[in-house]
Amino acid sequence: MTAHTITVAGVAVDTRHWIGGERVASTETFTNASPIDSSVLGEISRGTATEAAAAVAAARDAFPAWAATARAERARILSAIADGVEKRIEELAIVETMDNGALLRSHRRGVMPRVAHNFRFFADWLLKLDHEDFETRGHTNHVSWDPAGPCVLITPWNAPLMLATWKVAPALAAGDTVVLKPAEWSPLTASLLADIAAEAGLPAGVLNVVQGYGSEIGDALTSHPDVRRISFTGSVPTARRIAASAAENLTPLSLELGGKSPLLVFADADLDLAVDLAVEQYDNAGQVCLAATRLLVEESIAEEFTRRFAEKATALVQGDPRDETTDIGPNIHPRQLEKIDGFVQRALAAGARAIMGGHPNQGQYYAPTLLTYVAQDSEIVQEEVFGPVLTLQTFTSEEEAVRLANDTRFGLAATVATGDRERAERVTAGLVAGTVWVNCFFVRDLQAPFGGSRQSGVGREGGTWSFDFYCDLKNTVTAPNGWNNHG
């Protein structure tokens, strides 16, 4: 152990940055506390423009050699990182639970295995990435994906490691180098990822991790002239600042932003399935960008749906996320809890009714909440709450359902519950969303494009779309003759 190492649930975590293959401390720190019980986990190095510049320089210097590394070797190292994650799933799971409050059982069984899969998938996809040559008047067109350069990846706190590696893995596979800036509310597993990557043989400077507040380090990263790509997951206001910062250098952006997604429940749906889908929206204490927080239910079944929903949702167990029986853990930070309650109290003051919840519980826990009698143009319907708060509205026709579903500035996702295949096709065709689920929720394949419409984002990542973003696409056109040698 060193002065810069903390122990979280028995796991040693280095609190310094990872820059150029070395641990680097800052003169200032910030306090990292667990949302479970507000206990202090440790003091984390607080980066500034100095660390940002050093990390970008390390990524810039490491780029030529990494970009020139054969695809097979890059894929081998990414697979070795996946192996390292799998060996440490239990450690990663408990550290992330302590750091962001999500369920330990989910981290063990789903999230951390997905982290490993992110690396393995993009390693495999790299090896088959190809575009068939085509001819133009006898000339051959050959499309290639060239590494772009250093990337800045800024990731959120609600699923820290999974969402970080969703960006890190394709960027590294593409031959880019990375500066990862994790959210200051949940930075610990990013530090462990740096250790795992180094142990897997990733060369120094190819992956760098800098910690700190966006207001202090973010602009220095996103405005740096040596940065070739920026990928960000987070809020719309922060995205605007990043886009303005990147504009000076015309740095390409991929932005996965907020959502106010609908769940449309038609009278012909399997009602038990529809209720299950609705209750599932409380996952991760409602801190899921894709969550269908607006329940739109056909009027003829609304009363029965509401009764069954309340019965099932009130049976959810809220408590310590380390307990196997817990269904809903805490919200990430006191400021987030205050924000959630502010939305709810303003809605109640404006005439909304709480079918259930509507108040904080002890500590950083907010009671699962369902609000009715909400106006379409109200704040609670239009703005992202990012907590365990759902609204319920009714509709009487398919056209009204689609109109209500589309009537926000967002367009990240939508969920449809119906027993009519033709209706499903009509409704999904009319919905403005990057992802639509029909009679299911949160089924995600890394081959599929992912991103949002409207103010839910810019661009798509996943499968070849990730390589399209993290690479410079080149088309080489070759004449059919003119060679001096004819071998």
3-state secondary structure 27-58: CCEEEEECCCCCCEEEEEECCCHHHHHHHHHH
Task: Reply yes or no on whether the pLDDT at 170 is more than 70.
Answer: yes
> What is the mean predicted confidence (pLDDT) over 405-424?
97
Structure-block tokens of residue 312: 């099932």
Quote the pLDDT of residue 431.
Answer: 98
124, containing H or E segment: helix 112-128
Task: Reply yes or no on whether the pLDDT at 282 is more than 90.
Answer: yes
Quote the pLDDT of residue 481.
Answer: 84
Quote the pLDDT of residue 1.
Answer: 55
Using pLDDT thresholds of 50, 70 and 90, give the confidence band for residue 411: very high
Quote the pLDDT of residue 118.
Answer: 97
Structure-block tokens of residue 121: 């998938």
Coil vs helix vs strand at 351:
coil
- Homologous superfamily (CATH) for 5-257+457-475: Aldehyde Dehydrogenase; Chain A, domain 1 (3.40.605.10)
The secondary structure of residue 202, as a DSSP letter, is: P
Tell me how far CA of residue 278 lies from CA of 5, 201, 403, in angstroms. 42, 44, 20
pTM of the model: 0.95
Exposure class string for 307-329: b at 16+ Cβ within 10 A, else e: ebbeeebeeeebbbbbeeebbbb
Task: Reply yes or no on whether the pLDDT at 228 is more than 60.
Answer: yes
Quote the pLDDT of residue 482.
Answer: 75
Quote the pLDDT of residue 3.
Answer: 83
Task: Reply yes or no on whether the pLDDT at 138 is more than 60.
Answer: yes
Quote the pLDDT of residue 19.
Answer: 98
Task: Reply yes or no on whether the pLDDT at 248 is more than 90.
Answer: yes
CB half-sphere exposure, 350, CA atoms < 13 A: 17
Closest CA to 256 of 237, 232, 287, 222: 232
User: Looking at the annotation, which residues are catalytic?
Assistant: 256, 289
In the predicted model, what is the mean pLDDT of the chain? 96
Of all residues in the chain, the percent with pLDDT exceeding 90 is 97
Q: Which is higher by pLDDT, 29 or 215? A: 29
Quote the pLDDT of residue 484.
Answer: 82
Angle at 445 between CA 470 and CA 426, to 5 degrees: 110
Task: Reply yes or no on whether the pLDDT at 383 is more than 70.
Answer: yes
Task: Reply yes or no on whether the pLDDT at 160 is more than 70.
Answer: yes
pLDDT tens per residue across span 61-92: 999 999 999 999 999 999 999 999 999 999 99
Quote the pLDDT of residue 486.
Answer: 58
pLDDT tens per residue across span 440-472: 999 989 999 999 999 999 999 999 999 999 999
Q: Where in the chain is the domain with CATH 3.40.309.10?
A: 262-438
- 262-438: CATH topology is Aldehyde Dehydrogenase; Chain A, domain 2 (3.40.309)
Quote the pLDDT of residue 483.
Answer: 81
> What is the mean predicted confidence (pLDDT) over 157-180?
97
The two beta strands, 207-209 and 229-233, are unpaired
Q: Where in the chain is the domain with CATH 3.40.605.10?
A: 5-257+457-475
Are 391 and 408 contacting, i.e. CB atoms less than 8 angstroms apart? Answer: no
Among the ranges given (44-48, 118-122, 364-368, 440-444), the one the predictor scored with the smallest mean pLDDT? 440-444
Task: Reply yes or no on whether the pLDDT at 189 is more than 60.
Answer: yes
Residue with tokens 């309650």, as numbered in its chain: 341
